[in-house]
Amino acid sequence: MNIFVCVKQVPDTETKVTPNADGSFIETSSIKWIMNPYDEFAVEQALLIKQANPAANVTVVRVGSVKDTEALRTAMAMGADDGILVEAGDNLDSFSIAKALKGAIEKSGKTADLVFAGKQAIDDDCLQVPQILAQMLNLPSVAVVVGFELNGTAVKAKREVEGGALEVYEVATPCVIACNKGLNTPRYASLPGIMKAKKKPLAQHSLADVGVSDADRRVKYSGFRLPPEKPAGKKYDATDAGKQRDVVAQVVGLLRTEAKII
């Protein structure tokens, strides 16, 4: 069984984002890069399957810059068997990334039985790549998955929708599964795992190698800017129990008279 896990490298969640000088992207020089948090659930799910099916091979695939390969290294240290890196800039659009992932999977010579990915990358927040990739590979997909069972080729996947309701899907492999937080608890990479990861095979391709060119761009970004800052609000002291009710009543009143929202 061949399992592919698509991972992306993104700025850490605590990053203070600053647009670059010409507004074409963000300033990336001092960013700490991490594996996209939702991709950790994807890697973990693949490894859980490998635990139950030792013959399974888990390949992690990433499209992005080479300057820091944190995401791939982490995934292989967690237990993935091998990796594929498609070298590209850090602000490719979803269509190009999906096409590059498809090209990389096909170039590996393996036929995917399962493709896992995070439900969204927390940099561009598009929630597109798994669905586009599924369409390109002509595979069914289930996105925002918080529950997953595999019995032979039968998959049962729980997809979280508005309000926390769950749609329970039945689908056969091969399929694409986009993972959400809550699916599992990702393991930490062990020290031996980190040492072993250094010897695991890592294939490297250019975008051209996997059939992607500038002509594949579908979404253009410009004018990166910080959102407008709100003017400072008012602060009320309700630490004195005697004045608490007056203070709260005043704020509640202002929500109607001043803010006009209730």
Q: Is 253 exposed, middle or buried (0-12, 13-18, 19+ CB in 10 A)?
A: exposed
Q: How many other C-beta atoms are found inside a 10 Å radius of the C-beta of residue 93?
A: 17
Q: How far is the CB of 95 from other proteins (least distance, A)?
A: 6
Q: How far is the CB of 168 from other proteins (least distance, A)?
A: 4
Q: By C-beta, is 18 or 190 nearer to other proteins?
A: 18
Q: Which residues of 137-147 are buried (b: 16+ CB within 10 A; e: fewer)?
A: bebbbbbbbbb
Cα–Cα–Cα angle for 142, 35, 196, rounded to 5 degrees? 110
Please give the Cα distance from 88 to 108 (Å, whole number).
18
Q: How far is the CB of 243 from other proteins (least distance, A)?
A: 10
Cis previous bond, 201, omega within 30: no
Q: How far is the CB of 88 from other proteins (least distance, A)?
A: 17
